[in-house]
């Protein structure tokens, strides 16, 4: 296992990325230690995640929500009440 400082890692990133393929490389920062590990990238999954949006199914909150038109109507009623209240003063 190779333990290096953050300054050493910043100065020689390529060296330690290459080294992490064959052996453990840890980067020490203060009281914390971070392990540098290689991971094989599946290009098809990356393209799918970037190109496709995933939508969640509507839940109870969605079905209880009011429409924009209904919101505008209710907001205008409240604004008129506030306006009348302050217009009398």
pLDDT in tens, 27-48: 999 999 999 998 887 766 666 6
| Model pLDDT, residue 87 | 83
- Compare 84 and 56 and report the one with higher pLDDT: 84
Report the C-alpha dihedral over residues 12, 18, 21, 27, rounded to 10 degrees.
0
Q: What is the gyration radius of the CA atoms in the chain, in angstroms?
A: 29
Structure tokens given for 67: 């429409």
Q: Which residues contact 37 (CB under 8 A, 6 or more apart)?
A: 20
Summarize the confidence of residues 55-62 as an average pLDDT.
85
Q: Does the pTM exceed 0.85? A: no
| Model pLDDT, residue 5 | 94
């Amino acid at each position: 296992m190779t333990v290096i400082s953050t300054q050493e890692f910043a100065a020689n990133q390529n060296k330690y990325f290459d080294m992490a393929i064959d052996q453990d490389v840890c980067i020490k920062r203060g009281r914390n230690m971070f392990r540098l590990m290689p991971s094989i990238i599946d290009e098809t999954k990356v393209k799918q995640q970037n190109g496709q949006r995933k939508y969640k199914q509507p839940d109870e909150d969605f079905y209880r929500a009011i429409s924009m038109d209904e919101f505008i109507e209710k907001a205008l009623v409240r604004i008129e009440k506030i306006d009348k209240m302050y217009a009398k003063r």
